[in-house]
Amino acid sequence: MPEPTTTGNPTADGQVAESSPIASDLELTSALGFVDSLDLAPSAATDEAQPDELASVLRRMVAWLRPASGRGEEAAVRVDALTRALDERPVVASALGGQLHHWIANARSYRAFVGLGLFSRRGFVREVVSRLYERINPAPRDAADLRDLLATVFDDAQDGDWVTAVPAARWAALFETLSQPVAPTLRASATTHLAEEALHAVEMLATWIAAEEIDEDLLRLDPVLADLDSAFIALNREIATYVAQARTRLAQRSRGAAPNGAESADAAHATAQEASGPIDAAHAFVMLRQCEAQVARLRKRAVTRGSSLATTHLLERLAQTIERIDLFLTALTTEDPSARTAQGATLFARLVVASGEQRRLRPLWRRTVRQVALGITDKESDHGEHYITRDRAGWHAMWKSAAGAGVIIALLAFIKLQLKAEALAPLPEALLASLNYGLGFVLVHVLHFTIATKQPAMTASRLAQDIERGDGGRANQAKLACTLVDLVRSQLAAVAGNVVIALGLASLIAVLAPRLLGARVLDADSVAYQLHRLEPLGGGALFFAAVAGLWLFLSGVIAGSVDNRAAYLDLRARLIAHPLLQRLISSPTRRARIAEYVHEHYGAIAGNFLFGVLLGMTPWVGSVLGLPLDIRHVAFSSADLGYAAVSGTIGWPAFLTHLGFVLLIGSVNLLVSFWLALWLALRARATRLGSLPSLFARFGEQVRANPRLLFVPPKDA
């Protein structure tokens, strides 16, 4: 098979776009065979189009164009081959072009223009229910409606992938080939009708934007929207002015296009060209840019002031609507006919994609949840900077904070062992263990101590924020490597502080226990059991450490969600004005301090407590389900090792071996929680980490240049 050649594709501005393959002789032969199989009668060029018949032909055409491999290059070759084949079969091109233009001149396109690719006004939940019902009991389709025709012709939900991969110039060339043989009057009628539908769509979309500015959620985010001269209202006025002028021109040209022989046919064609010609819409474009800026501000405020699924859904729909108006205005005001055709091809590709997504839940879920996740991870990234030490003072503070947490963890581990020794029923033991963990973690937070494994959820979000601020949403590898050095150093300090103090204090308690309590902390069987729990494979320690890492990630998500909810409800103001608190705490200053503390730490307290509940309940859930479920946490494992090593006098070789196991547990805890949190934060920001080998190479260069920085920061940041 001969290799296909490549050629440049003219874009809307007449430039040559990126080269793409063109059809070879073999593909052209195949296309000619397909065109001949259509068997369209020459008279069809002048007959009124039958929508169902046209839909059947177009469906066959799309099935032939659809690449078996799913690759866009193959689809582009097939579109090129079909265009050339129609050039060589002018009778078929005339017949099909006539049917297509008759259909365009009478089709209902408004529903597709204002519905496909735009979130529904019904909200996220109702939209999900509607899509589910549509899949179970679909409505009948009308081939005279553009929305239904697209769903019928492009019946594979993945068609949008290859349609968008084909350059717009290729689609425009195919349409031009079908348009050339069509009578000028019919082309004019189709163009005029399409312009009328587009104007109606633009007018309605602008009206919707103006109406939504009084939504309570948007006013909560930005009260300025209530002003009479807001960007949304101004856009509606400018669009109304433009549409009125455009409709007047269309009416004038239509009256002057009454058929009167061959000369009138040419005049009708010129009329259509003028009717869709440019009208000054500069002010409308200016207001579109201001509306885009307003939506961007609302999204930023939604991050700091909290958002809901409904708010996120509404903001996404606003952005989509502004983009759709921009696309229509650009097409309607473009002077160059070929550029207008290219704009139409772009709109066609987007509608095909939207038609496929309309039948699926995943795109709706992905777009909505991404915005919600952004609010959650931004809350975490705000705290993430506190967990990254960049100077000597911050590093010393991290050691002290981690050491304080190590003291509490050693005591919590001792309480856990005592609960185990009581031989309680499984459920009461799990509940008491959950309270032990949860209240202990809350105490650690209240005292401003640091548990090393709580850092990844915060630092990963902070890292993703740095990536987003890079060039084009891609990571600046050099800057990111510097941040990683700071992050690793901070994490090592926190782990060391937790492990050293928890291990040391646990060993000390185990030494003093026989004198103070009259018995060892652990008997011989318990020592063997605790040491077995630390074994990476035999004791399942690495798998259970991964489970703990998952709970660490989820606790971070919970904390971010609760913080987002607190901001959404403006918890601070509610508590200050709460009638009961006003009666209990008469001092406004003291009440404001309490409200401020609860507002700022609400998510962290909830996340820490629920993390403890997850740790405590996991073994019980595993026993109920008959699954091997448990948790291993580096700080608690180090304390358990201290109690076991002294109670069982295991010797230095065994102690060092099991200390290595503890560090392996910590590595799994941190890696699982960090990568899950980073994945969520990157997806929320629609950014990419970039080349991992390149990042690790830059990180290695930083470490080799100054290895000390991996353990001790500079005196000044």
User: For residues 437 and 411, is the Cβ–Cβ distance under 8 A?
Assistant: no
> Dihedrals φ, ψ of 105, to 5°?
-70, -15
CA–CA separation, 554 and 119 (whole Å) = 29
**65 lies in some domain:** yes
What pLDDT score was predicted for residue 666? 92
Q: Examine the domain organization and report whether 321 and 385 are in the same domain.
A: no
Q: Examine the domain organization and report whether 521 and 630 are in the same domain.
A: yes
Q: Examine the domain organization and report whether 385 and 259 are in the same domain.
A: no
Q: Examine the domain organization and report whether 354 and 378 are in the same domain.
A: no
Question: According to DSSP H, which parts of 276-308 are helical?
Answer: 282-305
Quick one: DSSP state of residue 536?
S
Long-range pairs, 517-524, Cβ under 8 A, ≥24: 520/647, 521/414, 521/417, 521/643, 521/646, 521/647, 522/417, 522/643, 522/644, 522/647, 522/648, 523/647, 524/648
**365 lies in some domain:** no
Which token pair is 21? 């393959």
User: For residues 367 and 312, is the Cβ–Cβ distance under 8 A?
Assistant: no
Q: Examine the domain organization and report whether 379 and 317 are in the same domain.
A: no
What pLDDT score was predicted for residue 377? 64
Distance between alpha carbon 35 and the CA centroid of its chain, in Å?
Answer: 42
**717 lies in some domain:** no
User: How far apart, in Å, are the Cα atoms of 153 and each of 104, 172, 174, 702?
Assistant: 15, 18, 17, 56
Q: How many CB atoms lie within 10 A of CB 714?
A: 12
CA–CA separation, 56 and 547 (whole Å) = 54
User: For residues 671 and 634, is the Cβ–Cβ distance under 8 A?
Assistant: no
Quick one: DSSP state of residue 14?
S
**366 lies in some domain:** no
Which token pair is 474? 């891609």
Q: Examine the domain organization and report whether 443 and 581 are in the same domain.
A: yes
Torsion sign across C-alpha atoms 701, 705, 708, 714: negative
**581 lies in some domain:** yes
**369 lies in some domain:** no
Q: Examine the domain organization and report whether 527 and 503 are in the same domain.
A: yes
CA–CA separation, 607 and 437 (whole Å) = 12
Domain boundary among 301, 336, 360: 360
Per-residue DSSP letters for 55-112?
Answer: HHHHHHHHHHHS-SS--HHHHHHHHHHHHHHHHH-HHHHHHHHHHHHHHHHH-B-HHH
**3-class SS of residue 145:** strand
User: For residues 564 and 306, is the Cβ–Cβ distance under 8 A?
Assistant: yes
Q: What is the pLDDT of residues 259-305, one digit of tens each?
A: 444 444 444 444 444 444 457 788 889 999 999 999 988 888 887 78
Q: Examine the domain organization and report whether 411 and 495 are in the same domain.
A: yes
Give the contacts of 297 (CB within 8 A, at least 6 positions apart). 222
Which token pair is 714? 């500079």
CA–CA separation, 688 and 333 (whole Å) = 36
Which token pair is 615? 């740790």
Per-residue DSSP letters for 236-248?
Answer: HHHHHHHHHHHHH
Q: Assign residue 453 the CATH number of its domain.
A: 1.20.1080.10
What pLDDT score was predicted for residue 409? 96
What pLDDT score was predicted for residue 636? 94
What pLDDT score was predicted for residue 473? 47
Domain boundary among 325, 360, 395: 360
Burial of 232 (0-12, 13-18, 19+ CB in 10 A): buried
**Can you give the length of the chain in residues?**
717
Which token pair is 471? 């060039």
Listed as ranges, residues in the chain with pLDDT below 50 are: 1-18, 43-48, 258-277, 471-473
Radius of gyration over alpha carbons of the chain, in Å? 33
Q: What is the pLDDT of residues 21-58, one digit of tens each?
A: 666 777 888 888 888 888 775 544 444 457 888 888 89
Q: Examine the domain organization and report whether 524 and 666 are in the same domain.
A: yes
Q: Whole-model pTM?
A: 0.70
Name the maximum alpha-carbon separation found in the chain: 117
CA–CA separation, 90 and 77 (whole Å) = 20
Q: How many domains does the chain have?
A: 2
What pLDDT score was predicted for residue 542? 94
| Closest to 242 (Cα-Cα) out of 321, 150, 326, 312 | 326
What pLDDT score was predicted for residue 667? 93
Q: Examine the domain organization and report whether 385 and 457 are in the same domain.
A: yes
Domain boundary among 309, 337, 360: 360
User: For residues 150 and 54, is the Cβ–Cβ distance under 8 A?
Assistant: no
Burial of 420 (0-12, 13-18, 19+ CB in 10 A): middle
**715 lies in some domain:** no
Distance between alpha carbon 155 and the CA centroid of its chain, in Å?
Answer: 26
Burial of 581 (0-12, 13-18, 19+ CB in 10 A): middle
Residue-range definition of the domain harbouring residue 538 = 374-710
CA–CA separation, 344 and 347 (whole Å) = 5
Torsion sign across C-alpha atoms 544, 545, 550, 552: positive
Q: Examine the domain organization and report whether 414 and 483 are in the same domain.
A: yes
**3-class SS of residue 230:** coil
Give the contacts of 195 (CB within 8 A, at least 6 positions apart). 246, 250, 275, 276, 332
What pLDDT score was predicted for residue 13? 39
Q: Examine the domain organization and report whether 458 and 489 are in the same domain.
A: yes
Which token pair is 627? 């699954």
CA–CA separation, 479 and 75 (whole Å) = 41
**1 lies in some domain:** no
